[in-house]
């Protein structure tokens, strides 16, 4: 025990596994599920000095808490680890060998495209049940209907209901990890019973963003219902477990419901997206110091991502949120990936994406720098859409010939220089985020922003 504990440095976040009431005056009581930060190791390796969310410090028992870890990069999380996609009947039977009653998997039906097959091992042989997809619902017996595969599997796990046996043990697809298990293991699983959903504050193609209450604190909750969409959002949640910075929207935890719902719980940003904030306040309210502060907030978050080898890929004022006390924080990590990977460019926002990323799918910190230049232009134009009066189809050809947008009205020349540096066609000549932050701080120190 003590050997492991010695490795927890000051600043480590951990989550309480049990309630601790404390007996001595110096103890810090906490409840199961509380997040605590280690302040220091004590002489006794079984106890830590820690602080809670409101900053109160005290002594805690090491074996009552679990270190919060980032989900390891490259971990293939699945909401349906028992789903094996397009495999044949014979392949399914081989996977369910040696026979074990209740061992099961789901595959795509080979005979009925669009349907699925539930394959269950029972008393030495494998039964194959056709899952019919009809009127957006799934059913095996045309008596009970389900919204998605997860609901169906959950139902037959608790009750055989006409099958040869109830579903006992999933045959996990090789290379995947059950999402719920991984979030629980790494200390990010929250309890649905402690979350109250209050009102809708945003709608996306994926589902709603709601204002919630988690243990008495306001939170924002992405509620993702559809299993295919939820699967895509797992990647965003797992990236967020690895990132910690005061200018990044902070993940608080994840709830994976048995019946297929996914809830991503983050800190609540009371003033909404930066683009809406700029448009609704405008020039009369927001001075040059405020615009520069937002620019620096975003730049510091991006410098942190750069230092940790993450590429955001979708940096824009719509994906920056503003807190109650006017701090800008980068959000929407749906496209954020380790720097090496490529992606499909079908859905990319053309006006914000660097030419080499659109042309050759080359994403890097340098393509994020290009997007940061566009975001600066959005900040200083108070939320205008970039490339005004240029038809969308003409933007890329003009940009590739070297066209750069003019400075927004009233934009300080020093800030416009920074924008133009971000828009070098040759990615290698663009500055790093570290250099950009230094330039913006120089502008602030010498009051070149007013």
Kindly report the CATH number assigned to the domain that includes residue 127: 3.30.505.10
Contact 126, 92 (CB under 8 A): yes
Same structural domain for residues 132 and 203?
A: no
Q: Is residue 5 part of a domain?
A: no
Q: Is the dihedral of CA 54, 56, 62, 67 positive or negative?
A: positive
Closest to 331 measured CA to CA, from 230, 438, 250: 250
CATH number at residue 38: 2.30.30.40
CATH number at residue 207: 3.30.200.20
Q: What is the DSSP string of 281-306?
A: H-TTT--HHHHHHHHHHHHHHHHHHH
Which run of H or of E encompasses 137?
strand 137-139
What are the structure tokens assigned to 70, written together?
């980032």
User: What are the tens digits of pLDDT across the range 347-395?
Assistant: 789 999 999 999 998 899 999 999 999 999 999 999 999 999 999 999 9
Q: What pLDDT is recorded for position 379?
A: 98
Same structural domain for residues 259 and 277?
A: no
Q: Is residue 450 part of a domain?
A: no
Enzyme catalytic residues: 314
Residues making up the chain, counted from first to last: 450
Q: Is residue 104 part of a domain?
A: yes
Q: Is residue 1 part of a domain?
A: no
Q: What pLDDT is recorded for position 348?
A: 80
Same structural domain for residues 436 and 353?
A: yes
Q: What pLDDT is recorded for position 386?
A: 98
HSE-up of residue 398 (Cα within 13 Å, Cβ side): 13
Last residue of a domain, one of 241, 265, 289: 265
Q: What is the widest separation between alpha-carbon atoms in the chain?
A: 80
User: What are the tens digits of pLDDT across the range 108-151?
Assistant: 998 888 899 999 999 999 999 999 988 889 999 999 999 889 89
Same structural domain for residues 152 and 299?
A: no
Same structural domain for residues 154 and 219?
A: no
Average pLDDT of the residues of the chain: 92
User: What are the tens digits of pLDDT across the range 256-314?
Assistant: 987 767 999 999 999 999 999 999 999 999 999 999 999 999 999 999 999 999 999 99
Q: What is the pTM of this model?
A: 0.86
331-367: burial string, b at 16+ Cβ within 10 Å, e else:
bbbbbbbeeeeeeeeeebeebbbbbbbbeeeebbbbb
Q: CA-to-CA distance for 169 and 96, rounded, in angstroms? A: 11
79-116: burial string, b at 16+ Cβ within 10 Å, e else:
bbbbbbeebeeeebeebbeeeeebbbbbbbbeeeeeeb
User: What phi, psi does 287 have (nearest 5°)?
Assistant: -90, 175
Q: Is residue 94 part of a domain?
A: yes
SS3 of the chain: helix, strand, coil, percent, to 5: 30, 25, 45
Q: What pLDDT is recorded for position 334?
A: 74
User: What are the tens digits of pLDDT across the range 403-442?
Assistant: 999 999 999 999 999 999 999 999 999 999 999 999 999 9
User: What phi, psi does 28 have (nearest 5°)?
Assistant: -110, 105
Binding residue positions for ATP = 222
Distance (Å) of CA 196 to CA 237, 252, 265: 20, 15, 11
Same structural domain for residues 52 and 80?
A: no
Q: What pLDDT is recorded for position 251?
A: 95
The pLDDT-based confidence of 235 (bands split at 50, 70, 90) is confident
Q: CA-to-CA distance for 181 and 183, rounded, in angstroms? A: 6
Same structural domain for residues 289 and 421?
A: yes
Same structural domain for residues 313 and 382?
A: yes
Contact 261, 303 (CB under 8 A): no
Contact 278, 317 (CB under 8 A): yes
Q: Is residue 14 part of a domain?
A: yes
Same structural domain for residues 362 and 417?
A: yes
Same structural domain for residues 396 and 437?
A: yes
The pLDDT-based confidence of 345 (bands split at 50, 70, 90) is low
Q: How many domains would you assign to the chain?
A: 4
Contact 52, 22 (CB under 8 A): no
Last residue of a domain, one of 65, 85, 105: 65
Q: CA-to-CA distance for 426 and 76, rounded, in angstroms? A: 34
Same structural domain for residues 81 and 60?
A: no
Q: CA-to-CA distance for 118 and 155, rounded, in angstroms? A: 13
The pLDDT-based confidence of 340 (bands split at 50, 70, 90) is low
Q: CA-to-CA distance for 62 and 4, rounded, in angstroms? A: 10
Contact 21, 1 (CB under 8 A): no
Contact 30, 52 (CB under 8 A): yes
Q: Is residue 398 part of a domain?
A: yes
Q: Is residue 3 part of a domain?
A: no
Same structural domain for residues 404 and 333?
A: yes
Last residue of a domain, one of 220, 250, 265: 265
User: What are the tens digits of pLDDT across the range 79-90?
Assistant: 999 999 999 999
Domain interval for residue 369? 272-444
């Amino acid at each position: 025990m003590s050997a492991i504990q010695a490795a927890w440095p000051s600043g480590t976040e951990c989550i309480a596994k049990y309630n601790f009431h404390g007996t001595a005056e110096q103890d810090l009581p906490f409840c199961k599920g509380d997040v605590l930060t280690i302040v220091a190791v004590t002489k006794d390796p079984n106890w830590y000095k820690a602080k809670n969310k409101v900053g109160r410090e005290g002594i805690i028992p090491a074996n009552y808490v679990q270190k919060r870890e980032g989900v390891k990069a490259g971990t293939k999380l699945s909401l349906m680890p028992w789903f094996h996609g397009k495999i044949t009947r014979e392949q399914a039977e081989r996977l369910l060998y040696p026979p074990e009653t209740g061992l099961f998997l789901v595959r795509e039906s080979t005979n009925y495209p669009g349907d699925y097959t539930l394959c269950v091992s029972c008393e030495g042989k494998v039964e194959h049940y056709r899952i019919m997809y009809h009127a957006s619902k799934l059913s095996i017996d045309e008596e009970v209907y389900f919204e998605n595969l997860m609901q169906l599997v959950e139902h037959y796990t608790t009750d055989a209901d006409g099958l040869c046996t109830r579903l006992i043990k999933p045959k996990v697809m090789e290379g995947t990890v059950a999402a719920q298990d991984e979030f629980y293991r790494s200390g990010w699983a929250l309890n649905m019973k402690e979350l109250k959903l209050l009102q809708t504050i945003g709608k996306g193609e994926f589902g709603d963003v709601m204002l919630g209450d988690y243990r008495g604190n306001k939170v924002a909750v992405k509620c993702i219902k559809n299993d295919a969409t939820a699967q895509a959002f797992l990647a965003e949640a797992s990236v967020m477990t690895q990132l910690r910075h005061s200018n990044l929207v902070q993940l608080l935890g994840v709830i994976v419901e048995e019946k297929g719902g996914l809830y991503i719980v983050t800190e609540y940003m009371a003033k909404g997206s930066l683009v809406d904030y700029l448009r609704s306040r405008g020039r009369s309210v927001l001075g040059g110091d405020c615009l520069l502060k937002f620019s620096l907030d975003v730049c510091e978050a991006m410098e942190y991502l750069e230092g940790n080898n993450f590429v955001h890929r979708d940096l824009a004022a719509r994906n920056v949120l503003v807190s109650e006390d006017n701090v800008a924080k980068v959000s929407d990590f749906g496209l954020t990936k380790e720097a090496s990977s490529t992606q499909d460019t079908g859905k990319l926002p053309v006006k914000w994406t660097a030419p080499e990323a659109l042309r050759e799918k080359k994403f890097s910190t340098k393509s994020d720098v290009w997007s940061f230049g566009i975001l600066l232009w959005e900040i200083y134009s108070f939320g205008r859409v970039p490339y005004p009066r240029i038809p969308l189809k003409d933007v890329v050809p003009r940009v590739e010939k070297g066209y750069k947008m003019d400075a927004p009205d009233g934009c300080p020349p020093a800030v416009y220089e920074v924008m133009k540096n971000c828009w070098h066609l040759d990615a290698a000549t663009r500055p790093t985020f570290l250099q950009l932050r230094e330039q913006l701080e120089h502008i602030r120190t010498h009051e070149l922003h007013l």
